[in-house]
Chain A
Amino acid sequence: MPTEIGTKVVTARFGNEEAKTLAGYEKTGGYSSLRKALAMRPDDIVNEVKASNLRGRGGAGFSTGTKWGFVPKDAKQVHLVCNADESEPGTCKDRELMYWDPHLLIEGMIMSAHALKAVHNYIYIRGEMMREYAVLQKAVDEAYARGYLGKNILGTGLEVQLTVHRGAGAYICGEETALLNSLEGLRGQPRLKPPFPAVKGLFGNPTIVNNVETLMNVPFIIDKGGAWFNGLGTGRSGGTRIVCVSGHITKPGVFELPMGITFNQIINDVCGGVWKGNKVKAVIPGGVSMPPLDADELDVPCEFDALQTDERIKNVMVRPGQQFDLGGGRALKTMAGSGGIVVMDHTSDIPKYVWRIMKFFAHESCGQCTPCREGTGWLEKVSKRVADGNGKATDLELLASIAHGIAGNTICALGDAAAWPMLGFLTKFRPDFEAAIAKAKKGEAAA
C-alpha cells in the first residue's frame, strides 16, 4: 500500500542524537538484517533490489537493480562508490541523512558491496561538509572496531573495506566519472562515456556509483523484501521520496514523503503554503538543473516518470513554435532530479533568478568542452544584462540559441543542466523576460 504523509523509513532516526552512535543505531534496529544479507547469495540481493523498483536518488532516477546488473559477471575486482558530493542548488537531503544516520549508509553499503562482490569501497564526500565528514568517519571507525567492516566480517569470511574520501570544492565532481577521476587523484574532469563505470570505472575496474539516499534504502529492502518496498511507491518507482523544500515557503525543510504526492500537496499540506500568503509562480522540481513548473502544473505527482511524461506539463521549447528535441523527436518536460524543490512566489524576479542559476553553471563548468565552457559564460553574461534592465530585443533569441547549442553537444550532462532550465524558463515565463527588456528600452528612450 502506498505510504501516507508522515510515514518515515529512511529518515526515521532524524533528530535522534543517540542513533548516530553504533550502540544507539543498533538499539533502534540497526545492523539487525546485516547477517541476513550476508547469508544471501549476491545475485539474490540484486534480484531483490530489482524487484523493489528502487531508482537512483542522485538525479537520473535510473533503476538501481538494473545498473547493478551491468557489472560483468567475470569481473576480478569491483568497487562500490557512494556519491556524497551533494551540491546541486536547492538540494540538502544527503547532508542531513549522513549527519543523522551515518550507520544506515554504512550498513547499506556493506549489503550493496556484498551484492556486487565489491571489496574496496569508497564514500566520496564533498569537501565543504566537514561536520558530516567527522560524523561519518567516526561511524566508519566504530563499524571497523565492531567487525562490521574489515577482512572477515561477522565471521562470514567476507571482506568489505570502506574509505571516506574528501573532495575539495568542485560541483562537477558530483558527475560520476569526474568523481572517479577525483578519487584517483586527478583533476575532477568527466570522462567520455562509454565505457560506463559499471564496466570500466575506478582504477579501470567495474564500479557502481550510487547516491547516499539510494544506498540508505537498501537495508529496508533486505529487511522487508523488494515487493514490500515497491508497494510503498507508485508505478515504476518504489519506496518513499525525500524532498528538500526551499525558497518562498512558510515551512521549508527536508521531508520524507509518499512517492505519488503532488507539488500542490507538498506546498500546501506539508509546508504550510507559500510564504506571506502569496501566490505561487514557479517551482523548480528537482534542483536547478531541471526545467521549472508553472502554477498550472502543480497537480502532477513528484514521481520520476510523471515528471517526464505527464500530459499536464508543457513541453520545453527552443523558441516559440519549435519544440526542444531530446533525440528521436522526444519532448522534454522536466525530471525529478535530486529532490530539491524551490518554490518561487508571484513577486519573483524570474530573470534575476535565472541569471543566478546561469552564474552557477558558468562557475562550475570544468572547461573541457567548448560549447559548455563558452556557452555557460555567455548565458551568464546575457542573462545578467537582461536581469539588470540592460537587455536588447534580440537577447531572448540569443539566450535560446546559445542554450540550444550546448544541449546534447557535451561530454557530460552539466551542459544540459545549464541549457534545460534556461530553455524551460524562457518557455514558461517569456513575458517576464520581455517585460525586463521592455523596461530597458524605456530607459533608453528616456535617456
Chain B
Amino acid sequence: MSLEFSADAQKKIAALCERYTVSGTKQPVVMAALHLAQKEFGHLSDDALRLVASTLSLPYAHVYGVATFYTMYRRDPSGKTTIRMCTNISCMMRGGYEVLAAFEQKLGVNVKTGGTSSNKAFTLIEEECIAACANAPCAVVGTRYFLDITTDQVGKIIAELESHPSPESEVV
C-alpha cells in the first residue's frame, strides 16, 4: 500500500526545506518528516519510510538508518497514548520503579515485552531521565507532565488519559 502525506504535512515539509542552508539536499528535514509520518500513520512502516525517502529524494537506506537510531520513532503499531515513565536515578530514589510497576499492573502490560495494552489504548515505556528530576518520580505523556507521582495516583492518571487520549498528536 502506498501512503501519502496530508496537505498540511506537505506544506510543513516544504517550509522546513527552506530553513536549512545546505544546497542540493533535503536531508536535514528527515527527522521532522519522520515525526510527521509517525503522527499521520501511527508508526513508521516500510511504506512510511519509503514515503519519507521519496518526499525528500533520499535513499531508503538512509531514512531507515535514521528511523532506527532514535528511540521515539516506532517501527511497530503502538497504543494510542504513550506514557513515558522515568526510572532513572532521581526517580528511582523516590519510588519510580514502584510507580512503573503500578502502571504495568493497572494496564496489564510488561514494559520489557512491548508495553502495549490489549485494547491498544496505551503504550507504557520505561524512560530515561525526562528532565523533571526535581519532581521525581515523574512521567511525560505528549505535552503533559505527571509530577511527584505516588502509586495510589496511578489509577486516576490512567482514567484521566482515557478521557483525553494521546496528547502527543498535538505537537509536531
Which residues from chain A sit less than 8 Å from chain B, CB to CB?
77, 86-92, 94-95, 119-120, 126-131, 133-134, 161, 163, 165-171, 182-188, 203, 244-248, 252-254, 284, 288, 340, 342, 344, 348, 353, 356-357, 360, 363-364
Min Cβ gap B131→A in Å is: 4
Interface residues of B in 60-88 (CB under 8 A from A): 65-66, 69-73, 84, 87-88
Assuming the contacts A168-B71, A247-B90, asked whether A185 and B66 have C-beta atoms less than 8 A apart, the reply is yes
Q: Does B93 contact A (CB under 8 A)?
A: yes
The 7 closest A-B pairs by CB, nearest first: A169-B71, A168-B70, A169-B72, A185-B27, A246-B90, A89-B129, A246-B133
A-B contact count (CB 8 A): 150
Residues from chain B with a CB closer than 8 A to the CB of A356 are 87-89, 92
The docked-state distance in angstroms from the alpha carbon of A248 to that of B30 is: 42
**Are B93 and A247 neighbours in the complex by a CB distance under 8 Å?**
yes
**Are B133 and A344 neighbours in the complex by a CB distance under 8 Å?**
no
The docked-state distance in angstroms from the alpha carbon of A166 to that of B27 is: 14
**Are A95 and B132 neighbours in the complex by a CB distance under 8 Å?**
yes
**Are A131 and B132 neighbours in the complex by a CB distance under 8 Å?**
no
The docked-state distance in angstroms from the alpha carbon of A187 to that of B67 is: 8
Residue from A119, A131, A163, A168 within 8 A of B144 (CB atoms): A131
A-B contact pairs, 13 of them (CB 8 A): A92-B134, A120-B19, A168-B34, A168-B35, A169-B71, A169-B73, A183-B28, A184-B22, A188-B69, A246-B134, A252-B135, A288-B89, A360-B128
Q: Contact mask B31-44 → A, CB, 8 Å, 1/0?
A: 11011000000000
**Are B70 and A170 neighbours in the complex by a CB distance under 8 Å?**
yes
Assuming the contacts A168-B71, A342-B90, asked whether A130 and B31 have C-beta atoms less than 8 A apart, the reply is no
**B residues contacting the other copy or chain, number (CB 8 A):** 48
Residue from A130, A184, A252, A288 within 8 A of B134 (CB atoms): A252
Q: Does B113 contact A (CB under 8 A)?
A: no
The docked-state distance in angstroms from the alpha carbon of A166 to that of B171 is: 11
Please report whether the interface of chain A is mostly helix, strand, loop or mixed according to DSSP. Answer: mixed
**Are B69 and A89 neighbours in the complex by a CB distance under 8 Å?**
no
Residue from B30, B35, B84, B94 within 8 A of A185 (CB atoms): B30
The docked-state distance in angstroms from the alpha carbon of A120 to that of B21 is: 7
**Are B143 and A131 neighbours in the complex by a CB distance under 8 Å?**
yes
Residues from chain B with a CB closer than 8 A to the CB of A88 are 129
Assuming the contacts A128-B84, A203-B21, asked whether A89 and B90 have C-beta atoms less than 8 A apart, the reply is yes
**Are B65 and A187 neighbours in the complex by a CB distance under 8 Å?**
yes
**Are B144 and A91 neighbours in the complex by a CB distance under 8 Å?**
no
Residue from A95, A128, A184, A245 within 8 A of B28 (CB atoms): A184
Closest to A245 in B: B134
